[in-house]
Amino acid sequence: MKNRFLFLMAFGIVLGGCRPEPDALIGTWTVDKVHVQFDESRSTPELVKQTGEMEKRNTFSISADSVLVFKGIDEQWEERVNLVNDSVLRCSGRDFGIWSRGRIVTRTGSPLGEVIVIYKKE
pLDDT score of 109: 95
Check residues 47 and 9 and name the one with the higher pLDDT.
Answer: 47
Q: What is the distance in angstroms between the CA of the first residue and the CA of the last residue of the chain?
A: 32
**What is the reported pTM?**
0.81
- 10 Å Cβ neighbour count for 105? 23
| CA angle (52, 56, 61) in 5-degree steps | 140
Residue ranges covered by each domain of the chain:
2-121
If one looks up domain 2-121 in CATH, what number appears? 2.40.128
Position 112, amino acid:
L
The conformation of residue 103, written as its DSSP 8-state character, comes to E
> Rounded to whole angstroms, how far apart are CA atoms 99 and 118?
10
Mean pLDDT, the chain, rounded, equals 87
Find the helix or strand (DSSP H, E) in which 31 lies: strand 27-38
Q: What is the pLDDT of residues 26-41, one digit of tens each?
A: 999 999 999 999 999 9
Residues 100, 103, 9, 40, Cα dihedral to 10°: 130
Which SS3 state, helix, strand or coil, does residue 4 take?
A: helix
Rg (CA), the chain: 15
Closest CA to 10 of 96, 105, 87: 105
Q: What is the pLDDT of residues 55-96, one digit of tens each?
A: 999 999 999 999 999 999 989 999 999 999 999 999 999 999
